[in-house]
Amino acid sequence: MRGYLPAEAGTPEVEPMIESSTRNVTAETKRMNAGVRSKERHSRAVSALWQHRPFDRAHVDPALLVHYATLAASSHNTQPWKFEAGRDRITILPDLTRRCPAVDPDDHHLFASLGCAAENLLQAARAMGLEGHVAYDATRSGVRIDFEPATPARSALFEAIPQRQCSRCAYDGSTLSANELRTLEATSRSAGTAVLWLTDPGSKERMAEYVAAGNTAQFVDRAWASELRSWIRFNAREALATGDGLYGPVMGSPDVPRWLGMLAMRFAFSSRAQNRKDIAHIRSSSAIVVIASGSDDREHWIDAGRCYERLALQAASMGLRTAFINQPVEVPALRSEFATFVGLGARRPDLVVRIGRGPQMPRSLRRPVSAVLA
């Protein structure tokens, strides 16, 4: 199966030798030049990745559907999915080698990520004239999508796939119009899944308190910090080498050599600094959304992921930004109190998202389709 990403997005990078006519070019200069070239290659890989691809409706290529699926969100950009393409069917399976046991011990986020991929795949299939029917495959814990021919429809959600991103930055604090709220609500709604909207300043302050309490609990957890570190790509070279993980600039940090990034994490990585940033980001947001699926199991965690992806695509199509603030649902000791605060009672809140108007942030990469399609 041919891959759709440019080879450089996912293949290990071999730094080309730097040609130098002078002998006194220092090792430091060489490293800086290599860094500049990696950033250029990263930026080319990003441009090639985050755009629509041409397709032939008469011969839908499963690899192209999978490509669109991989542009979905995934926890820590782990891309914990494998795809199996059969006749008129694609199955999305969990890749358990990409688990994050510290932040996600029951694989809740992993299965939600499969839901995100499924939603992108469905939107792309519809654009290519295929209606997908989703079923949960309990024996394999996968998402089975069976296709039948349909009238092609390029939905606003499909058009927005290359625009969606997690924008971890301050928004402009403006309110959403009643019309915007109605559209976002209507798109994210699905049977059995609750989507709760918090827009008043008082609720945002309480939300900021929960997120801060979550940061405080997570930052003292060494396993959590070490797992997060293992998914951070401090510079473009690292991001290009793996095609996954959290590239520093995506999170508002500079592109730095690994040694410097590790040093910064050791001395500047603190819950206090994170809280300052998160509280300001929450206050700047137009709305906070809490997603709670119908039941606390894998099948319904997938539903929660689908719900987020639809919401985020709809928001992107309206020029709005989204970012997760999941700390209150990730820390088990906080989760039930948080559920009571948002009025969910004994139900599990799955995902927390903030929405608003703000700038585009740098983009993350993906592994090539050939790495995930059996």
CB of 278 to ligand FMN, least distance (A): 9
H/E stretch holding 262 reads helix 258-268
In the chain, the amino acid numbered 254 is P
Number of H helices, E strands in the chain: 14, 10
Applying CB under 6 A, which of residues 4, 9, 42, 75 lies at the interface with ligand FMN? 75
**Which one of 108-116, 146-154, 270-278, 313-321 is the stretch in contact with ligand FMN (CB under 6 A)?**
108-116
> Cα angle at 268 between 33 and 77, to 5 degrees?
65
Lookup result for tokens 């089975």: 144
Residues in 310-349 at the binding interface with ligand FMN, rule: CB under 6 A: 323-324, 326
Number of residues binding to ligand FMN, judged by CB under 6 A: 18
Which candidate, 225, 273, 231, 223, places its Cα nearest to that of 248?
A: 231
Q: Retrieve residue 31's tokens.
A: 């490293």
Binding mask 148-187 for ligand FMN (x = CB under 6 A): -----------------xx-x-------------------
CB of 247 to ligand FMN, least distance (A): 8
> Cβ–Cβ contacts within 10 Å for residue 107, how many?
20
| Nearer Cβ to ligand FMN (115/132) | 115
HSE-up of 265 (CA within 13 Å, CB side)?
19
Q: Which residue is nearest to ligand FMN (CB)?
A: 73
The interface region with ligand FMN, picked from 19-27, 41-49, 109-117, 268-276 by CB under 6 A, is 109-117
Report the distance separating Cα 100 and Cα 155, nearest Å: 33
Q: Which stretch binds ligand FMN (CB under 6 A): 57-65, 112-120, 122-130, 283-291?
A: 112-120
Residue 113 sits in the site that holds ligand FMN (CB under 6 A) = yes
Can you spell out the DSSP letters for 53-104? Answer: ----TTS--HHHHHHHHHTS--GGG---EEEEEETTEEEEEE-GGG--TTT-
Q: Does 126 participate in binding ligand FMN (rule CB under 6 A)? A: no
Least CB distance to ligand FMN at residue 261 (A): 17
Q: Is 109 in the site for ligand FMN (CB under 6 A)?
A: yes
For the CB of residue 369, give the shortest distance to ligand FMN in the complex, in Å. 16
Distance of closest approach, residue 16 Cβ to ligand FMN, in angstroms: 28
Q: How far is the CB of 38 from ligand FMN (least distance, A)?
A: 19
Options 67-75, 199-207, 232-240, 264-272: segment touching ligand FMN (CB under 6 A): 67-75
One residue of 66, 246, 288, 355 binding ligand FMN per CB under 6 A: 246
> Under the criterion CB under 6 A, does residue 118 sit at the interface with ligand FMN?
no
DSSP run (H or E) holding 372: none
What is the chain's length?
374
List the Cα angle 332/73/329 in 5-degree steps: 15
218 is a site residue for ligand FMN (CB under 6 A): no
Q: Which of 41, 42, 76, 126 binds ligand FMN (CB under 6 A)?
A: 76
CA 325 to CA 205: how far, in whole Å? 13
Residues that bind ligand FMN (CB under 6 A): 73-77, 109, 112-113, 116, 165-166, 168, 246, 305, 323-324, 326, 364
